[in-house]
Amino acid sequence: MSTEYNAFITETTIEPTSEGPLSGRTVAVKDNISTADVRTTCGSAMLEEYVPSYDATVVERLTAAGATIVGKANMDEFGMGGTTETSAFGPTENPRAPGRVAGGSSGGSAAAVAGGKADLALGTDTGGSIRNPAAFCGVVGLKPTYGLVSRYGLIAYANSLEQIGPIAPTVEETAMLLDVIAGPDENDATTHQNGTDADYAAAADGNVDGMTVGVLESLRDGADDRVVDAFDDAVAELEAQGATVVEIELDSIDHALAAYYVIAMSEASSNLARFDGVRYGVSGGYEGDWNEAFAMSREKGFGEEVKRRILLGTYALSAGYHEKYYKKAQDARAWVKQDFDAAFEKADVLASPTMPVLPPEIGDSLDDPLQLYQIDANTVPVNLANLPAISVPAGRADGSPVGVQLVGPAFDEHRLIRAASALE
Amino acid sequence: MSEDAVDADAVHHVADLARVALTESEAERFEAQFGDILGYFDSLDEVPEIERESDLVNVMRPDEQRPSLNQDEALDNAAETEDGYFKGPRVS
């Protein structure tokens, strides 16, 4: 392993451009976020030598806020995976549970923070990729509302679902990092006016008195008993601090996972078409015509999980199957969104275990892709509904960290941060 | 494919459409896995038709010239270039 825990693909120093709230702080940046003159690999052999000529908006905001970027963090290839084992640069190890995975796909970012290699980190979350490794590594991770943080300079995987977000040791530091990166960007037309001067850090006051917490029962029931015990303790803690606890059932939730994978794979098949080995990416100098050379370059550059998703996405969009898979998945997405809207009439925040399982041992879970997809069950509904969610540590079970997920209404990150800070 | 069997031909056909060459061992694994995964996706058949309210709005900006990458920067990551252009494989 090239770095401790294999948390970084590239260790580097990107100096701050001015003083600000992050002066003196070090930040790890996931390696699918573009950094000018520093290679940005997406965890893929395809982009092993790719050096962007511009910074992502979030990188400009970090350095302008005084942060020093100390490395590009390891990740599942193109964000496709839940354990950071599909990286072409080897798996990241969990600093808080030796021998076990760090979670994914932002495993390097969470491990860098948990292992003390960076004060703070940026990850990206398409179906749980910030919250999952935050839970497995015992740190805090927040997936912002869709549109709150610019995706300009993020190498796209499934752009209707993914957001860049903060990972940090505490809720307040997570909120402070969100304050720096949130807000509109003229280079990303999907960004929203919300987030300007929001002062999320001030919301970390731990005051949940009078708040109603809705427990997502089916997600609780589907989890490992050891995870459920830690989760129940956290909910009891919120109750002890004055919150009211209610049970919430979402009828749509059983269909969210299938819908998520159909949509994510479909978008991936389109987004990853740009890697042709001509403008960038590996080129073998192959014989043959464009199509043959293109196919050979992608055979060489992409790992197996990436190929699997491109092929399944191509299939789901192909003639005859579009109605069966893609259109139905969009219906399920709308259904999930309606269900969440109704739930927020009964509760201020919704709670579930972040991950239904404890972190697996490295190498244990790769053989069955469908089984691996199912560990995303608790996190993907949030991405389908474009909502914000946070994972906050809730103790340990059998030596591994456990995370609690809190979900809030769109653009109400303040509420999430307030509730999460009560659990620290 | 889930109602029909997922056979080797189906895997190779979709790989051709996606312009991804596969090794034989990958194609064999995918054949088995795609049946499972697409079978799981069949649960979407139970989703009712949903009336979708679109909360999308168009975001427009004035169509003005702005700085972009120059030609050298655009070619920086290309394996082969010629006279300031990308050089690709023959088209047919």
What is the distance in angstroms between the Cα of B59 and the nearest Cα belonging to chain A?
6
- Which of the four pLDDT bands, split at 50, 70 and 90, describes residue A46? very high
CA distances from A287 to A45, B18, B41 (A): 21, 19, 38
Cβ A114 vs Cβ A120: under 8 Å: no
CA gap A361, A175 in Å, rounded: 31
Could B59 and A338 be called an inter-chain contact, meaning their C-beta atoms sit closer than 8 Å? no
If you average pLDDT over residues A162-187, what whole number do you get?
A: 97
If you average pLDDT over residues A204-230, what whole number do you get?
A: 97
Task: Tell me the DSSP string of A214-248.
Answer: EEEHHHHHTS-HHHHHHHHHHHHHHHHTT-EEEEE
Of B49, B59, B91, which has the smallest distance from its Cβ to A290's Cβ? B91
* Residue B33, C-beta contacts closer than 8 angstroms, at least 6 positions apart: A308, A369, A370
What is residue B41's three-state secondary structure? helix
- As given in the structure block, the two tokens for residue A63 are 């350095």
DSSP annotation of A3: S
Task: Tell me the DSSP string of A297-343.
Answer: HHHHHS-HHHHHHHHHHHHHHSTTTIIIIIIHHHHHHHHHHHHHHHH
CA gap A329, A257 in Å, rounded: 10
* Residue A144, C-beta contacts closer than 8 angstroms, at least 6 positions apart: A163, A164, A165, A178, A182, A388, A413
Could A53 and B15 be called an inter-chain contact, meaning their C-beta atoms sit closer than 8 Å? no
* Residue B65, C-beta contacts closer than 8 angstroms, at least 6 positions apart: none
Q: Render pLDDT for A85-102 as a digit per residue (tens, 0 to 9).
A: 999 999 999 999 999 999
A105 as an active site residue: the answer is yes
Cβ A394 vs Cβ A423: under 8 Å: yes
pLDDT (0 to 100) of residue A1: 45
Indicate if the pLDDT at residue A156 is higher than 70. Answer: yes
- As given in the structure block, the two tokens for residue A355 are 């991950």
Could B22 and A54 be called an inter-chain contact, meaning their C-beta atoms sit closer than 8 Å? no
Q: For the ranges A35-39, A370-374, A387-391, which has the lowest average pLDDT?
A: A370-374
CA distances from A66 to A21, A22, A95, A154 (A): 7, 5, 27, 21
Number of DSSP helices (H) and strands (E) in chain B, helices first? 3, 2
What ipTM does the predicted assembly reach?
0.93
* Residue A315, C-beta contacts closer than 8 angstroms, at least 6 positions apart: A321, A325, B1, B14, B34, B38
Q: Render pLDDT for A105-134 as a digit per residue (tens, 0 to 9).
A: 999 999 999 999 999 999 999 999 999 999
CA gap A136, A417 in Å, rounded: 20
What is the distance in angstroms between the Cα of A250 and the nearest Cα belonging to chain B?
13
Q: Compute how many other C-beta atoms are within 10 angstroms of the C-beta atom of residue B57.
A: 6
Cβ A350 vs Cβ A302: under 8 Å: no
Strands A163-168 and A140-143: antiparallel
* A-chain residues near B92 (CB < 8 A): 289-290
Query: Global pTM?
Result: 0.96
Cβ A36 vs Cβ A55: under 8 Å: yes
- Which of the four pLDDT bands, split at 50, 70 and 90, describes residue A2? low
- As given in the structure block, the two tokens for residue B72 are 């050298």
* B-chain residues near A307 (CB < 8 A): 20, 22, 26, 30
CA gap A29, A72 in Å, rounded: 5
Mean pLDDT of chain A: 96
What is the distance in angstroms between the Cα of B18 and the nearest Cα belonging to chain A?
6
Cβ A342 vs Cβ A240: under 8 Å: no
Could A311 and B18 be called an inter-chain contact, meaning their C-beta atoms sit closer than 8 Å? yes
Indicate which residue of A34, A87, A106, A129 is catalytic.
A129
Q: Render pLDDT for A226-271 as a digit per residue (tens, 0 to 9).
A: 999 999 999 999 999 999 999 999 999 999 999 999 999 999 999 9
What is residue A1's three-state secondary structure? coil
Could A370 and B50 be called an inter-chain contact, meaning their C-beta atoms sit closer than 8 Å? no
pLDDT (0 to 100) of residue B1: 43
Query: Is the alpha carbon torsion for A412, A415, A420, A424 positive or negative?
Result: positive
CA gap A79, A44 in Å, rounded: 10
If you average pLDDT over residues A337-365, what whole number do you get?
A: 96
Cβ B6 vs Cβ B34: under 8 Å: yes
Element at A292 (helix H, strand E): helix A290-301
- As given in the structure block, the two tokens for residue A422 are 């009560």
pLDDT (0 to 100) of residue B49: 87
Cβ A160 vs Cβ A145: under 8 Å: no
Cβ A167 vs Cβ A178: under 8 Å: no
Q: Render pLDDT for B20-47 as a digit per residue (tens, 0 to 9).
A: 999 989 999 999 999 999 999 999 999 9
- As given in the structure block, the two tokens for residue A248 are 């919430």
CA gap A347, A391 in Å, rounded: 18
Q: Render pLDDT for B36-83 as a digit per residue (tens, 0 to 9).
A: 999 999 999 999 988 877 777 888 889 999 888 999 999 999 988 999
Indicate if the pLDDT at residue A69 is higher than 50. Answer: yes
